[in-house]
Structure 1
Amino acid sequence: MALSATNYNTGDEELNTRLREWFEWDKNEATRSDILQLVNEKNIEELKKRLLKRMEFGTAGLRTRMAAGFSMMNDLTIIQTTQGLCQYLLKNCPSVKSNGVVVGYDGRHNSERFAWLTATVFINAEVPVYLYSRVCPTPYVAYAVIYCKADCGIMVTASHNPKEDNGYKVYGSNGSQIISPVDKHVAKSIEENLVPLVTSWDASVVEKSPLRKDPYNDILKHYNEDLKKLCYFREQNSKSSVTFTYTAMHGVGYPYVIEACKVFGVKEPVPVVEQIMPDPEFPTVRYPNPEEGEGALSLAIDTANANNSSVILANDPDADRLAIAEKLESGKWHIFSGNEIGALLGWWSWLSFRQKNPDVPGKV
């Protein structure tokens, strides 16, 4: 006879307790059924992995596989995490009730739903939420925190992880990811707020709430206006003969890179068509991390070779990582390391500043 959500005994009292909590708290029928199936199969080891440990909340927030259980990313754990974060902010940063939080999401499976559940918790606590109406890059969340003078930002993304994963990045009022000991205090608050409020499950409150604002148009405009202030040589850019190839690695970056190209006066890059649109299945790459090297950039290299392009630019799915490759005279491609890219950007920033500010003490 198959077991029901109330008729089980695994022989492990702690596991029985966690099971009772799961079936009492989780309102998502799919994840409830997944746990129930493991109970019926008497898969005790898997149940222990799913229920006896929680995801660890750290300076990078959360990131792990999407599945049922307290150790996985799912509706219940998103609600629990957000309830804890919300209570931490209300206690330590009461201005959040006027300043609000920013919530964005990428194109992964469940990202939009997790973002709406996050917004639901905050709105029910009477905290304003700047919730993006469409997928956006992670830098747009960090920027929006500062532009909107919000007290916190949350980006739902697993960055460059495999398709099975998702994540929850948290940013402070300075637009940077939180650091220790804030992460420890938030983790403690999550543990103290595990019981989901009934209202936390009703995401419909977000759509009709006056506390919800869509920052998309304002941030698109002002982000690129501020980006323009970093462009010292737009006229020279417009005369450049360099052809760029760009891949979004099945992520959200392409339309935002196009806007940036307009700002800097460079011609639009040649897109890697197979990877240009958000696709949570990541069909052409197992690990959508452009920094992994030639294997991850193989389609970009093919596209660049076919279009006489000498430079490749690549973002990860939430567009906060950058990879660069350059075609050498030998025909081979040099993929720059992170240190090389950092050195180039640092050198160019200093050179540009000195050329525009020759009277400032220092040497070029």
Structure 2
Amino acid sequence: LVANFNGRCHMNLLNVMLFSICNQLVKNPKTMSMVQDLMKKGAVEELKKCFSSRMEFGTAGLRAAMGPGISCMNDLTIIQTTQGFCQYLEKSFGNLKERGVVIGYDARAHPPSGGSSKRFASLASAVFVSRGVPVHLFSDITPTPFVPFTVSHLGLCAGIMVTASHNPKQDNGYKVYWENGAQIVSPHDKGISKAIEENLEPWPESWNTEEALKSSLLKDPYQDINTQYFKAIQKHCHHREINKSSEVKIVHTSVHGVGHAFVQSAFKAFDLHPPYAVEEQKDPDPEFPTVKYPNPEEGEGVLTLSFALAEKEGATVVLANDPDADRLAMAEKQESGQWRVFTGNELGALLGWWVFHCWKQQNSDAGAVKNLYMLSSTVSSKILRAIALKEGFHFEETLTGFKWMGNRARDLLDQGKTVLFAFEEAIGYMCSPSVLDKDGVSAAAIAGEMISYLATTNTSLSQKLAGIFEEYGYHISKNSYFICHDQDVIRSLFERLRNYSGKKDSYPVECGRFSISAVRDLTTGYDSNQPDNKAILPTSSSSQMITFTFSNGGVATMRTSGTEPKIKYYTELCTAPGNSDVTSLKKELDELVDAIVENFFEPQKNKLQPKPE
């Protein structure tokens, strides 16, 4: 290896490479072959990307490309991560060896490197078994929501889901849940990261997946959880007779992921007629051959085959899961013949209205509403707040990500409160406290029941959404993103906003013709709306997030993604209930977004890639 590099690589980097190579490549010939090919090509920069810096473990766990090196998802980095996680759990729980953990995986695979979700799950299991920890390892692919459900249902210490959700096909991830059934939050991420650094050398038995799979410590929860999960979500089925008689036709696509069988089972649990499955996309396929991006949030491009099947079968609604089935998208055919893809905020409004409507039908005690809560993330629509103000229940907003909503929901449930619904604009919905995370399987069945119910009143989803806005105020959102792989560019863009007039902490007071009335910076902890200028919501110096409130009532947030190389922006304008001048509202919002792009992004525009069409 040294000879092949011909002295072109810094010695420290070479030492890191050699350590990693010696520990992993002899165990995985495919990964070794990838490195040998790069060495032969003299691809120093590519090798540096693979070996010069370790993936950072955060509250989102890990997510990166599969391949060789400490910056990628591979056998070695999975073992190192699991060893650190296992040691952290040993320190956190005295009864870890009695309670155990659960491990699930999706269908991702990367033949060039020999990596796959199933392989990584087996290695993680071997690490825990080697330490005498019981492991509930699913024997087959599952949707992500099954893992947090299993943690809660079996009272386990933790859960791991090996998935990269909707990321490109070469990526994989390692998502972690705590004993409360929610994703980890700080300080667990820092504690686990430190433990990983302290346990980089593989333990002798960590590679021995064959012995681990024979161990009495290994259990398969697949059949039990498959039964118990659907029993749990059946509690949220309120119109069984309508479901049985409904003639509504629905198309469902799992976008080459794991969702097909589970959504079919969810519809059956609700006595709904099974949705038509998009044949080309219903079976798991890690190549995602029919889509450019396996992300239904991207809209029509991912749903083309669904629309074609709907036209053929006479279906009026399309439901789509992302590949690990924790998110849900929905589209409806309009009278014009065109298809309307609902935004995450619009579907959040519909589902929020529906679960509250069903709750009211089941609860005659007027005082019970004071014990009721709904949640959404700070970058999501405030439609739930508007509904809560009129209907009398509680609304709370959290930081971005279901880790925050899940943990807050757990706190409220422990206080005896009822958490009815939570959502984030990125098509994530928690319709049942049985899963304290977004769940595209239960959301699909609950959406199916809502669709069937509305059909009995000859009301389309679009009409119902307009009715919700008429009653509670129109909430119009416009969200998008720029792609940026350069962290220096991202830092420069946000620092410019923090020092807008050339002075430190001098945020902009206007954006084009729009006056800014308040600024909240959850990277630094600044909030001009608070008496002491200190933000109430938690802050994180490792991520960028600034929210601007405008004098016209508009709100805009710019933030970086924790799992993708994106700078995202979210905007919303609202009207008072009864004000239906949507045309003027949309025009005002369009102009506000144009001003934000021109004034806040323009200085770096040549270094940013716009969202793909």
TM-score normalised by the shorter chain: which range applies? Answer: over 0.9
Cα deviation, residue 9, structure 1: 5.0
SS in 2 for 1:198: coil
Unaligned runs of 5+ in 1: none
Matched, 1:154 2:154: no
- Assess if the C-alpha contact under 8 Å between 1:4 and 1:36 holds in 2: no
Q: Give the aligned partner of residue 280 of structure 2.
A: 274
Q: Give the aligned partner of residue 150 of structure 2.
A: 144
The aligned runs of 1:52-71 (5 Å cut-off) are 52-71=52-71
Deviates more, 1:242-251 or 1:197-206: 197-206
Q: CA–CA distance in 1 between the matches of 2:94 and 2:39?
A: 43
Q: Give the aligned partner of residue 444 of structure 2.
A: none
Q: Which runs of 4+ in 1 moved over 6 A?
A: 4-8
Matched, 1:164 2:162: no
Q: Deviations over 1:54-100 (max 9, x none)?
A: 11111111111111111011111111111111111011123221111
- Assess if the C-alpha contact under 8 Å between 1:237 and 1:265 holds in 2: yes
Q: Deviations over 1:172-209 (max 9, x none)?
A: 11221111221121111111111111211110122210
Cα deviation, residue 274, structure 1: 0.3
Q: CA–CA distance in 2 between the matches of 1:307 and 1:11?
A: 60
Q: Give the aligned partner of residue 224 of structure 2.
A: 218
SS in 2 for 1:64: strand
- Assess if the C-alpha contact under 8 Å between 2:4 and 2:39 holds in 1: no
Q: Give the aligned partner of residue 20 of structure 1.
A: 18
- Assess if the C-alpha contact under 8 Å between 2:165 and 2:323 holds in 1: yes
Pick one of 302, 306, 310 that aligns with 1:304: 310
Q: Give the aligned partner of residue 100 of structure 1.
A: 100
Q: Give the aligned partner of residue 180 of structure 2.
A: 174
**How many residues align structurally?**
362
Q: Which amino acid aligns with 1:338?
A: G
Q: Which amino acid aligns with 1:287?
A: Y
Q: Deviations over 1:225-248 (max 9, x none)?
A: 111111111111112121110001
- Assess if the C-alpha contact under 8 Å between 1:138 and 1:318 holds in 2: yes
Q: CA–CA distance in 2 between the matches of 1:7 and 1:68?
A: 17
Cα deviation, residue 12, structure 1: 1.2
Cα deviation, residue 105, structure 1: 0.5
Q: CA–CA distance in 2 between the matches of 1:83 and 1:239?
A: 53
SS in 2 for 1:200: coil
Deviates more, 1:130-139 or 1:94-103: 94-103
Q: Give the aligned partner of residue 188 of structure 1.
A: 194
Pick one of 229, 236, 251 that aligns with 1:230: 236
Pick one of 328, 345, 351 that aligns with 2:334: 328
Q: Give the aligned partner of residue 253 of structure 2.
A: 247
- Assess if the C-alpha contact under 8 Å between 2:167 and 2:294 holds in 1: yes
Q: Which amino acid aligns with 2:289?
A: P
After superposition, the Cα gap between the structure-2 partners of 1:5 and 1:101, relative to the gap in structure 1 and judged at 3 Å, is farther
SS in 2 for 1:104: strand
Q: CA–CA distance in 1 between the matches of 2:292 and 2:186?
A: 32
Q: CA–CA distance in 2 between the matches of 1:181 and 1:274?
A: 43
Q: CA–CA distance in 1 between the matches of 2:80 and 2:328?
A: 32
SS in 2 for 1:31: helix
Q: Give the aligned partner of residue 84 of structure 2.
A: 84
Q: Give the aligned partner of residue 31 of structure 2.
A: 31
- Assess if the C-alpha contact under 8 Å between 1:6 and 1:20 holds in 2: no
Cα deviation, residue 10, structure 1: 4.5
Q: CA–CA distance in 2 between the matches of 1:31 and 1:10?
A: 22
Q: Deviations over 1:278-298 (max 9, x none)?
A: 011111012111111111111
After superposition, the Cα gap between the structure-2 partners of 1:248 and 1:83, relative to the gap in structure 1 and judged at 3 Å, is same
Q: Deviations over 1:251-300 (max 9, x none)?
A: 11111111111111110001100000001111101211111111111111
Q: Give the aligned partner of residue 565 of structure 2.
A: none
Q: CA–CA distance in 2 between the matches of 1:199 and 1:268?
A: 46
Q: CA–CA distance in 2 between the matches of 1:79 and 1:208?
A: 19
Q: CA–CA distance in 1 between the matches of 2:117 and 2:305?
A: 26
Q: Which amino acid aligns with 1:138?
A: T
Q: CA–CA distance in 2 between the matches of 1:161 and 1:19?
A: 27
Q: Which amino acid aligns with 1:48?
A: K
Q: Which amino acid aligns with 2:363?
A: N
Deviates more, 1:15-24 or 1:305-314: 15-24
Q: Which amino acid aligns with 1:43?
A: A
Unaligned runs of 5+ in 2: 110-115, 370-390, 393-613
SS in 2 for 1:150: coil
SS in 1 for 2:13: helix
Q: Deviations over 1:332-352 (max 9, x none)?
A: 111111111111111111111
- Assess if the C-alpha contact under 8 Å between 1:120 and 1:203 holds in 2: yes
Q: CA–CA distance in 2 between the matches of 1:34 and 1:125?
A: 32
Instruction: Tell me: higher relative CO, structure 1 or 2? Use CA pairs within 8 A at least 6 residues apart.
Output: 1
- Assess if the C-alpha contact under 8 Å between 2:167 and 2:293 holds in 1: yes
Cα deviation, residue 24, structure 1: 2.5
After superposition, the Cα gap between the structure-2 partners of 1:7 and 1:342, relative to the gap in structure 1 and judged at 3 Å, is closer
Q: Which amino acid aligns with 1:13?
A: M
Identity %, equivalent residues: 51
Q: CA–CA distance in 2 between the matches of 1:11 and 1:129?
A: 42
SS in 2 for 1:169: strand
- Assess if the C-alpha contact under 8 Å between 1:100 and 1:127 holds in 2: yes
Q: CA–CA distance in 1 between the matches of 2:293 and 2:9?
A: 39
Q: Give the aligned partner of residue 49 of structure 1.
A: 49
Structure with greater proportional strand content: 2
- Assess if the C-alpha contact under 8 Å between 1:5 and 1:36 holds in 2: no
SS in 2 for 1:118: helix
Q: Between Structure 1 and Structure 2, whose CA radius of gyration is higher?
A: 2
Deviates more, 1:269-278 or 1:203-212: 203-212
Give me the CA root mean square deviation.
1.7
Q: CA–CA distance in 2 between the matches of 1:6 and 1:122?
A: 38
After superposition, the Cα gap between the structure-2 partners of 1:244 and 1:12, relative to the gap in structure 1 and judged at 3 Å, is same
After superposition, the Cα gap between the structure-2 partners of 1:320 and 1:169, relative to the gap in structure 1 and judged at 3 Å, is same
Q: Give the aligned partner of residue 290 of structure 1.
A: 296
SS in 2 for 1:166: strand
- Assess if the C-alpha contact under 8 Å between 2:147 and 2:161 holds in 1: yes
Q: Which amino acid aligns with 1:348?
A: W
Matched, 1:349 2:355: yes
